[in-house]
Amino acid sequence: MDFEELAQIPEPGRSELAAFVGCVVDFLQFVLKDSDQFASLWTDEPELRDLAVTVLEKDVPGSAKELTRAIWETPDEKLVSYGLTGNPLRFKLQVLGTISREFKTEYMESIPFSVRKWLRQAFEGMDAVLGSLVLATGAGGLIRQFKKALSAFAGKAAGEYHY
């Protein structure tokens, strides 16, 4: 399952939240290991990419597993209060599905497209769900902070931050 497929679920709940965690891990792998589209991010910092891959392989899976387990243990009212059920979750997933589809249509069709800008949008879209999940469950902080660090680096690589 990917973000676009999750966006099509009419009444998302715990199963979709668990699938979302898997999608986040798959996306991080796509960005760091499986895709040449993001290689330019690491041109000046190849050792940083190597370290990120190490974290992805050794640390992120445990955090993802912890978060997935916590999804099933978290009281319904907490999920509701963080917008992690029904229409609020569906909206968040549809935003993320739209961002995901943009990559497939624009980048793959060679329309002028900023991969870095898209990556930042994708990370922000993920955080709408992931941030709420971490707060509601009290688990998965490592995966969220790792994603946030990658987002910050993508912004630096794009020249969006000025010191």
Q: Is the pLDDT of residue 112 over 60?
A: no
Domain parsing of the chain, residue ranges: 3-157
pLDDT value at residue 107: 59
Percent of the chain with pLDDT over 90: 69
Q: Is the pLDDT of residue 142 over 60?
A: yes
pTM (2 decimals)?
0.90
- Predicted confidence (pLDDT) per residue in 5-23, tens digit: 999 999 999 999 999 999 9
Transcribe the chain into DSSP letters: --HHHHHT-SS--HHHHHHHHHHHHHHHHIIIII-GGGGGGGTT-HHHHHHHHHHHHHTHHHHHHHHHHHHHHS-HHHHHHTT-SHHHHHHHHHHHHHHHHHIIIIITTT-S--HHHHHHHHHHHHHHHHHHHHHHHS--HHHHHHHHHHHHHHHHHTT----
- Predicted confidence (pLDDT) per residue in 46-85, tens digit: 999 999 999 999 999 999 999 999 999 999 999 999 999 9
